[in-house]
Structure 1
């Protein structure tokens, strides 16, 4: 079954096509790494799937129905998370604030909703964070709570927009392994946006690379090639493989690290 289908989707902002005539299908239970340069359309694609951005043309089907805002079958971890650390909330309250689709404010939860919050905390290994203030926990621990929020309602499609930002390599590995375990255990389809391919190499089924308005979906060895990435970046790109790592180079510059350094 196709969990996500885009047919000739175009999205433009200020006259510039961020996504141009994109068509693709993603099947159930797939773990997809979403990559590309800054402005390449990664966040825009997720907002289109969420029904937050309407395409200029084309059709988007999510789980067999048109993409609509507030689809309970979708879980979403947004990219902008800077204010989380300053919130005067316990871990439990923070996760509960997303119950019933509410991101802020503390709803009065019934027993079923309270069980759901506890399930989400247990699933991401964050039960021990329930009574701790957000200001006193690490960035990696906050990511667990954000992921718990995204899992409320037990979604079938999980959209993660740059969940590795600002995490050191250890916590990056922990978060990737956690999400892979959840994906396999519950059969969830995952779209995992990242600035760099290497942390995802051992877990993804396919890579979706976006750039210059275009999209290429396929196995790593099919997509991460000089000719394909040169077309998506609009400039000559070399792909260097060193042991179990892949480096995307523009001359002597590693373009994925450059994109992260200037990320906004």
Structure 2
């Protein structure tokens, strides 16, 4: 199946012939992926399957074992301002002295020698970003006293400081309650819709973003599948991918995946990838 949606040219992200090895074990190989402007791609798979390493390669922080990565027509490199990065939510210590606006300002100031010297328009830009992530009302509060969801909104604001064309999200909803998962997902998706920003979103749980996703890249068992949610999230497709019975159910508007090896009986699974060479084939049509 082609990695490029029909009729799309000049992708924001283009990956060709990518492979990844770890400790003499091939995690996956032969990945071709084009991500168009404004497209939302979810990256799923068990822990250890190379999802975060893929993001690090796009950021120019870690080379792939083979293949090429280009962002906005330029080879992947460290410090590319055309890419925004939202990490997993990890609480900041309560005694952190930074205010909310200071955390967002780190993205606006960028990397400078010595202490950051405010530039004309910096404060206005910080205020704009705070408003965009619905954090203006706590802009002057110490970040250590904010909730996990409030802190994560600031990380999204920081990632958007350079007006990126590609937003990489590495488990950004982990450790958040359901209400904050929905709020942060909506902020990211609104950015995509309003600015045509491409989004590559690594997650263990597809449910909070399921209605926003255009395509899914599912990596497991040394293989990968690429397609729409209805194409990928099917019992027979995931069973073939894992090489063992896996069942996909829809209940109460949510997806539940049962039978993932060594995993909990829900979609936000945590397990090491089983070994197996090659890439999967993707049947088309039909919902789970």
Alignment match, 2:224: 215
- CA deviation after TM superposition for structure 1 residue 17, in Å: 2.3
Distance in 1 (alpha carbons) for counterparts of 2:115 and 2:214: 38
Aligned residue pair count: 259
Distance in 1 (alpha carbons) for counterparts of 2:13 and 2:44: 17
Partner of residue 13 from structure 1, selected from 19, 22, 41: 22
Of 225-234 and 41-50, the range deviating more from structure 2 = 225-234
Instruction: Indicate whether 1:143 and 2:152 are aligned.
Output: yes
What secondary structure, in the 3-state scheme, does the structure 2 residue paired with 1:108 have?
coil
Alignment of 1:72-83 (within 5 A): 72-79=81-88, 81-83=90-92
- CA deviation after TM superposition for structure 1 residue 80, in Å: 6.5
Alignment of 1:218-237 (within 5 A): 218-237=227-246
Distance in 2 (alpha carbons) for counterparts of 1:241 and 1:190: 25
Distance in 1 (alpha carbons) for counterparts of 2:104 and 2:225: 35
What secondary structure, in the 3-state scheme, does the structure 1 residue paired with 2:267 have?
helix
Partner of residue 64 from structure 1, selected from 53, 70, 73: 73
Distance in 1 (alpha carbons) for counterparts of 2:94 and 2:115: 17
- CA deviation after TM superposition for structure 1 residue 124, in Å: 0.8
Q: TM-score, normalised by structure 1?
A: 0.90
Question: Any gaps of 5 or more consecutive residues in structure 1?
Answer: none
- CA deviation after TM superposition for structure 1 residue 230, in Å: 2.7
- Contact 2:89–2:152 at 8 Å: present in 1 too? no
Partner of residue 267 from structure 2, selected from 235, 240, 256: 256
* CA radius of gyration, larger in: 2
Q: Where is the helix percentage greater, Structure 1 or Structure 2?
A: 1
- CA deviation after TM superposition for structure 1 residue 81, in Å: 3.1
Distance in 1 (alpha carbons) for counterparts of 2:254 and 2:78: 38
Q: TM-score, normalised by structure 2?
A: 0.83
What secondary structure, in the 3-state scheme, does the structure 1 residue paired with 2:35 have?
strand
- CA deviation after TM superposition for structure 1 residue 56, in Å: 1.7
- Contact 2:89–2:175 at 8 Å: present in 1 too? no
Partner of residue 92 from structure 1, selected from 94, 101, 124: 101
